[in-house]
Structures are given as structure tokens and as C-alpha cells.
Amino acid sequence: MKVIVNGKEAGTKETGCALCGGTWGDYYETVEGEKLFFCCNICAKAFINIINEAKKRFNLNKIDYIELRGNFYRGRNIEVKNGENSHKFYIKLSDDGDITEFKEID
């Protein structure tokens, strides 16, 4: 899965946390069969929630591209792709990494 956070590739220790782009911390989680780097377990939990919610809402069996733009306070604009299929949405997260707001964007 290709992960872009605020315009830069992310998801490894070198490139940064797959949710926030932070390079501190040392937390790994396997998502969609791929080992991704996160700064902390909350970011990992939030990322997995986003993937699961997007798959459910858009009826996707797989996500191979995700682009996240924004931050905790502003919320995040997200684009996911499964092949040529693209879906855009906006989310806000709680302190615990739960999704508190989800809006589809066309």
C-alpha cells in the first residue's frame, strides 16, 4: 500500500508515521498484509479504523493507495484508491483514535 501524508510518502521509520508523518517513536502494525511504521499505537489504531471504515463505506475489498492531508485539529482529507477506483472523504478523530466524523467528498 502506498501511503502519502501531507504530500510525502510515509509508512517507514525513515519516511515517518503512516498517519501523522512523525519520525519519533517505534511502533509497527501490519495493515492489509504490509508492515507499516507508526509513531505510536494511537496513530496505528486510527489508521486501521480509517482503512476499515473506508472499505466498509465504499465496499472495497482492498486499498492499495491512501493519501492523507491535514492534522488532528483540522481533521483530515483522505483519498483511497483500489486500482483506478478513487474515493475521497473527510474525517476527524478522537484522542483515542476513533473516528468521530466522516463525510464523503465528491
CA angle 29, 101, 10 (to 5 degrees): 35
Interface with Zn ion, residue 75, by CB under 5 A: no
Is the Cα torsion angle 95, 97, 101, 103 positive or negative in sign?
A: positive
Interface with Zn ion, residue 17, by CB under 5 A: yes
**Cell representation of residue 56:** 466498509
Residue type for 31, please? V
Closest of 94, 88, 9, 6 to residue 49, by C-alpha: 94
Interface with Zn ion, residue 20, by CB under 5 A: yes
30-69 binders of Zn ion (CB under 5 A): 39, 43
CB of 20 to Zn ion, least distance (A): 3
Q: Would you say 13 or 62 has its CB closer to Zn ion?
A: 13
Considering only the stretches 20-28, 62-70, 77-85, 94-102, report the one whose residues sit in contact with Zn ion under the rule CB under 5 A: 20-28
